Amino acid sequence: MSNLAEFARELHEKESRIYERKFEPVDYPSGQENLSDIRAVIFDVYGTLINYWKPGFETPQSRADALLQAFRLIADRFGMTELLTEINPSDKPEKTLSDFYHGLIALSHEKAAKSGREFPEVKIEEVWNLIVMILKRRGYDPSAFNPAASEDFGRVLAFSYNFHSLGRQLYPGVVDALEKLKKQNIVLGLFSNSQFYTPIDLTLLIRDQSNGKYDDYNELFDPDLTFFSYEYGISKPNQQLFRKLYDSLYEYQILPEQTVMVGNDLSLDIQPSAAVGMRTAFFTGDKEYAFMHNIEQTVIPDICFQNWGELHQKLSFYSQEKNI
């Protein structure tokens, strides 16, 4: 196990929090009740597989405050607080760190836009590496706070911020649903706007929900049908990313119409997937994260489901003729 993976595992085991919340489903129209002749199911991650809500996310202002608290925790834990205060005495250190973080992301997106890249994706560890470089010019010594290998420090910071800023737990019944789909000989993939820590989190969370039955997320998902945006520098709904998925499905001799995209976002998941000929499944089990972007009623998914126990019942490997 790498130093980073060991750091992530220890943080997860020692400091993970389970946030209880009653999920409020959303009623939304669908084109069909069930889909047949399905060979592959591809999943979005955040808001679909992973519930990232946490207390403090109830309003935009309280969410902003909660994220600032996460920046403060990072500044304190990794010895940045004093230097951040020196750099900008007029603001709290967490605000200065947040400004660095979001400013560097904005600069990266601006640079990508000038080069003509639509819907760019940053590698978030590079943002943290730049922040460390700025602080090192003021005398910051990361070796005093680095629990992993020195070359992983940007990733340690990125994983830590993600860990403390968002909730991290699978929706109830996810692993069971994935198992039942695989038992139908349906191959499973991932297609997510994500960062390097996404597969780490998936592994840890699947391990937990399966009570150790699965030790790695790739035991459920096919690596050749797994697409994380940070690996390509572009994010959904960039059609280049969808074409990469389309090409991989072709290698499996699976047609787009035999593939279901499962997501919680009409704009990022459902609409662009339908545009390239895939079938779509809209997860509407959590009102907080069923995103419609003011295009509701103009985008109709093939199916909707409100809890993970429903999904395998709505999808069949067999053709409709065999089901009759």
Mind listing the pLDDT tens digit for each residue in 284-324?
Answer: 999 999 999 999 889 999 999 999 999 999 999 998 754 43
Average pLDDT over residues 24-43: 97
Share of the chain above pLDDT 90, in %: 87
Say if residues 20 and 229 touch (Cβ distance below 8 Å).
no
Nearest Cα neighbor of 42 from 183, 187, 174, 238 is: 187
Domain residue ranges of the chain, discontinuous segments joined by +: 15-52+169-323, 60-165
Q: Say what the pLDDT of residue 144 is.
A: 81
% residues pLDDT > 70 (the chain): 97
Q: Does pLDDT of 103 surpass 60?
A: yes
> What is the pTM (predicted TM-score) of this model?
0.94
Query: Quick one: CATH architecture of 15-52+169-323?
Result: 3-Layer(aba) Sandwich (3.40)
Quote the mean pLDDT of the chain: 93
Rounded to 10 deg, the angle between the 93-114 and 124-136 helix axes is 120
Tokens encoding 79: 């010895």
The pLDDT score that the predictor gives to residue 73 is 97
| Residue 13 confidence (pLDDT) above 90 | yes
Mean pLDDT of 24-34: 96
Q: How far is CA 268 from CA 18, 121, 135, 237, 238, in A?
A: 28, 14, 36, 5, 9
| Amino acid 113: pLDDT | 84
pLDDT at 97 over 90: yes
pLDDT in tens, 117-171: 889 999 999 999 999 999 999 999 888 876 554 668 999 999 999 999 999 999 9
- pLDDT at res. 147: 57
